[in-house]
Amino acid sequence: MLSKREVFDGVPEEYLSHKERYENAIRNSVVAFSLVRKMQEEGKTSINNYRDVVGGLLGSSVLRDGSPLGLHYIMFMPAILNQANEEQQEKWLPRAWNCSIIGSYAQTELGHGTFIRGLETTATYDAATKQFVLHSPTLTAYKWWPGGLGQTANYCIVVAQLYTKGQCHGIHSFIIQVRDEETHMPLPGIKIGEIGAKLGLNAVNNGFLGFDNYRIPRTNMLMKHAQVLEDGTYVKSRHSKLNYGAMVFVRVVIVFDMVNYLSKAVTIATRFSAVRRQCQLKAGETECQILDYVTQQHKLFVSIAAAHAFRITANKLWLTFNEVNEQLVEGNLQRLPELHALACCLKAVTTADTAACVERCRLACGGHGYMMSSSLPLTYGLVTAACTYEGENTVLLLQTARFLVKTYQQLDSKALTPTVAYLKTAAAERFCVGWSNTTEGIIRGFQVVAMRVIIMSTFNEEVQEMSRTVSPQLKEVLHQLVDLYCTYWALEKLSDLLLYTPISQKEVESLRLRYEETLTNLRPNAVGLVDAFDLRDEMLQSTLGSYDGRVYERLMEEAMKSPLNAEPMLQSTLGSYDGRVYERLMEEAMKSPLNAEPVNYTFHKYLKPFMQGKL
Ligand SMILES: CCCCC/C=C\C/C=C\C/C=C\C/C=C\C/C=C/C(=O)SCCNC(=O)CCNC(=O)[C@H](O)C(C)(C)COP(=O)(O)OP(=O)(O)OC[C@H]1O[C@@H](n2cnc3c(N)ncnc32)[C@H](O)[C@@H]1OP(=O)(O)O
Ligand SMILES: Cc1cc2nc3c(=O)[nH]c(=O)nc-3n(C[C@H](O)[C@H](O)[C@H](O)COP(=O)(O)OP(=O)(O)OC[C@H]3O[C@@H](n4cnc5c(N)ncnc54)[C@H](O)[C@@H]3O)c2cc1C
């Protein structure tokens, strides 16, 4: 077992080189994920419900900039569960679950990420040898982005255009070994490496992968939905989009991820705002807490409400995901389009809103929010990536719009699925006969506007249930959060409401007053509300958001950890005697240290023992 000292060597990530970050991430990951194996041995987690355990580890401070093993759990295993037949699951899942193989998910190419029907990698069936031949016909066909693929994974799910008997049958998934299990060297016909430094998630080891007529057994095509028989006959899936299941799953999981990131950021910013005193309300008075400024409350309180709204929505979406998947197993595909549209919408909206809220939390902390030690810049880098991966947000919202338009067009001819049933009511009567500045009135207003109703109505529904099980005091605060969330978005989307609803100027003015009144009402409970997220200092890893409020002492303690403050010799890196500062920076930038060697030492020292269960 690795010693704590060896794994957590105490130097903040910000001061590690690109290569050291990777090596640090491997060390931390094998220790962290050894816990999953131990919990599995003790029956505390299983292959069918490891989301919370793995999610907790991936969201922990130990893996704060991602993990080279993340994709193994987030997409490689779910893809096998979702797309492999029983025989293939028996072969691959035990090895994946005990990490004797490490996988990734390779779908995106240099030339295509969104338009997956345009992917160029080919898998051509050779009936004579009962093999598929994988090939990257162009540079743009190279897989580009798969997490962990750079130097870590030795297997991956590859999405490629399937050809058999001279005909193309579209994209399908294959499980492919890319590295030797003993030496970790890339196999013949495989070109592989890491794609380099990114805005964030620099510990994820995203890689590239090219095939040169690389052969795999026929049985490595994931055949739960579609099959290719030994003679090359293609048997198509019941639904052409069942192969897209892994993406739907991750979109659902990402909504939970946003709850964690948003809760952390608003906890940090709210606690700091209670500690920070700046300027006087009246000359001669003590400087006041910046949390007392309405402008600061405007920046932060809606994020507290959003964190609760997203948590309730994520739980509701998870229930829907499981319901629909149970129906799919029974052959009932009726709600698949709704699940797809819902997952697209909620992934896009929660990631975009969380990225905006985290940035607002950073800005609300002034200069100290710009410090890496505040943890806010890192958090922003993590959440803004989620607006792109697993389906770029614009494209996913277009998918939702497509579903809503289709649903509306079939309003009178088709029974509506639960999440769009409101459309019937909105169409059946003069739904918004008058405007009322109440929570219900605003939601009805949005239902008319339509695009934001799914989060609003889910949130409202859950709160009604909650009112039967909480104390009157908590019920009052939760209703204040509901009011805040509704009036905030009513004011944010005022142009839509003015266009589609009879709201009057007078009502807008009273809405504004109501909004500020709600901010004032929430102020006394603001710190308590973020404390209720119950995020320990170790989770926040923030000089600004620690529970004890010792902001300034912590800022100084962290600053002193910089190697540039520790040893004068390191000053030479920037002020070297020969003055060749820019040449040195360029030399450093041109190094891609992880690609300079085919196998990083961490494979033999940490990864291989971990995969062999010897750690
Ligand atoms: C288990 C442990 C988890 C713990 C995790 C804890 C913490 C971590 C949390 C979160 C994850 C964190 C990190 C993950 C990090 C990185 C991973 C990233 C991975 C990737 O990015 S993988 C690659 C993702 N790529 C995409 O998403 C591509 C986006 N593009 C598409 O999906 C499709 O191209 C498209 C945009 C949907 C269009 O597809 P297309 O085939 O062209 O279809 P259309 O012609 O537009 O529509 C036809 C028809 O099909 C329906 N449809 C489309 N997609 C689906 C679907 N997925 N399911 C069902 N139905 C679908 C569509 O609605 C149309 O239906 P009609 O009835 O209208 O015809
Ligand atoms: C941190 C990170 C990790 C990732 N991990 C993985 C991974 O593990 N495995 C994997 O396979 N992929 C991974 N990806 C890739 C990711 O899935 C793609 O980046 C994503 O699907 C977007 O595709 P793209 O990059 O080609 O952008 P594009 O689709 O080219 O988008 C560029 C712009 O074009 C617009 N656009 C594109 N199509 C349309 C349209 N039809 N209508 C309107 N506008 C359009 C988009 O809105 C966007 O503004 C990762 C990406 C990131 C950032």
pLDDT at 2: 43
pLDDT at 149: 94
Q: Is-contact 364 549, C-beta < 8 A?
A: no
Residue 256: C-alpha distances to residues 55, 58, 79, 302, 494 (Å): 9, 12, 19, 18, 29
pLDDT at 134: 98
d(CA 203, CA 498): 47
pLDDT at 460: 46
Protein residue whose Cα sits closest to atom 8 of ligand 2? 146
> How confident is the prediction for the chain on average, in pLDDT?
86
Is the pLDDT at 517 greater than 90, yes or no? yes
What are the tokens at 303? 């994020």
Ligand 2 atom nearest to 201, measured from its CA = 1
- Residue 42 appears among annotated catalytic residues: no
The pLDDT tens digits of the residues spanning 349-371 come to 999 999 999 999 999 999 999 99
Nearest to 501 by CA among 588, 442, 452, 580: 442
Cβ-count burial 87-114 (b if 16+ within 10 Å, e if not): ebbeebeeebbebebbbbbbbbbbebbe
Is the Cα dihedral 501, 504, 510, 515 positive or negative?
Answer: positive
Q: Is the CB of 105 under 6 A from ligand 2?
A: yes
The pLDDT tens digits of the residues spanning 131-168 come to 999 999 988 899 999 999 999 999 999 999 999 999 99
The pLDDT tens digits of the residues spanning 84-113 come to 999 999 999 999 999 999 999 999 998 899
Distance of CA 269 to the CA centre of its chain: 21
The dotted CATH code for 245-531 is 1.20.140.10
Is the Cα dihedral 535, 538, 540, 545 positive or negative?
Answer: positive
DSSP helix, strand, coil percent of the chain (3-state; round to 5): 55, 10, 35
Q: Give residue 214's identity as a one-letter amino acid code.
A: Y
Protein residue whose Cα sits closest to atom 2 of ligand 1? 51
Q: Is-contact 574 563, C-beta < 8 A?
A: no
Q: Is the CB of 385 under 6 A from ligand 2?
A: yes
pLDDT at 110: 87
The pLDDT tens digits of the residues spanning 406-453 come to 787 677 777 888 788 777 776 655 555 577 888 888 887 777 776 554
Report, as an integer, the average pLDDT of 57-65: 82
Q: What percent of the chain has pLDDT over 70?
A: 88
pLDDT at 100: 95
Ligand 2 atom nearest to 391, measured from its CA = 21
Pocket of ligand 1 (CB under 6 A): 50-51, 54-55, 58, 73-75, 78, 105, 107-108, 114-117, 147, 241, 244, 247-248, 250, 253-254, 257, 336-337, 340, 389-391, 395, 399, 402-403, 406
Strand partners, 161: 122, 171
157: part of which helix (H) or strand (E)? Answer: strand 155-164
Cβ-count burial 50-77 (b if 16+ within 10 Å, e if not): bbebbbebbbbebbbbbbbbbbbbbbbb
Instruction: Give the chain's radius of gyration (CA, Å).
Output: 26
Protein residue whose Cα sits closest to atom 10 of ligand 1? 254
d(CA 370, CA 363): 8
Is the pLDDT at 490 greater than 70, yes or no? yes
d(CA 224, CA 397): 29
Is the pLDDT at 546 greater than 70, yes or no? yes
Residue 247 Cα, ligand 1 centroid: separation in angstroms? Answer: 4
The pair phi, psi for residue 495, each rounded to 5°, is -60, -40
Residue 232: C-alpha distances to residues 120, 382, 448, 531 (Å): 21, 44, 52, 60
What are the tokens at 421? 């049933």
Protein residue whose Cα sits closest to atom 47 of ligand 1? 399
Is 108 annotated in a binding site? The answer is yes
Is 207 annotated in a binding site? The answer is no
Task: For residue 414, give the 3-state DSSP assignment.
Answer: coil
Neighbouring C-beta atoms of residue 120, cutoff 10 Å: 18
The pLDDT tens digits of the residues spanning 281-337 come to 889 999 999 999 999 999 999 999 999 999 999 999 999 999 998 998 888 888 999
**Same CATH fold assignment for domains 1-237+568-615 and 245-531:** no
Q: Give residue 158's identity as a one-letter amino acid code.
A: V
Helix intervals (H) in 276-369: 294-329, 336-363
Cα within 13 Å of Cα(323), Cβ side: 12
Of residues 7 and 547, which shows the higher confidence score? 547
Q: Is-contact 149 104, C-beta < 8 A?
A: yes
Cα within 13 Å of Cα(501), Cβ side: 29
Is the pLDDT at 379 greater than 60, yes or no? yes
Place of tokens 């085919």: 598
pLDDT at 10: 66
Catalytic-labelled residue, pool 23, 120, 359, 390: 390
Report, as an integer, the average pLDDT of 56-83: 90
Nearest to 37 by CA among 605, 603, 614: 614
The pLDDT tens digits of the residues spanning 232-243 come to 999 999 887 787
End-to-end Cα distance, the chain: 5
The pair phi, psi for residue 589, each rounded to 5°, is -65, -35
Ligand nearest to the CA of 66: 1
The domain 1-237+568-615 is placed in CATH, from the list 2.70.240.10, 3.40.50.300, 3.60.20.10, 2.40.110.10, at: 2.40.110.10
Domain ranges of the chain: 1-237+568-615, 245-531
Is the Cα dihedral 198, 200, 205, 211 positive or negative?
Answer: negative
pLDDT at 563: 57
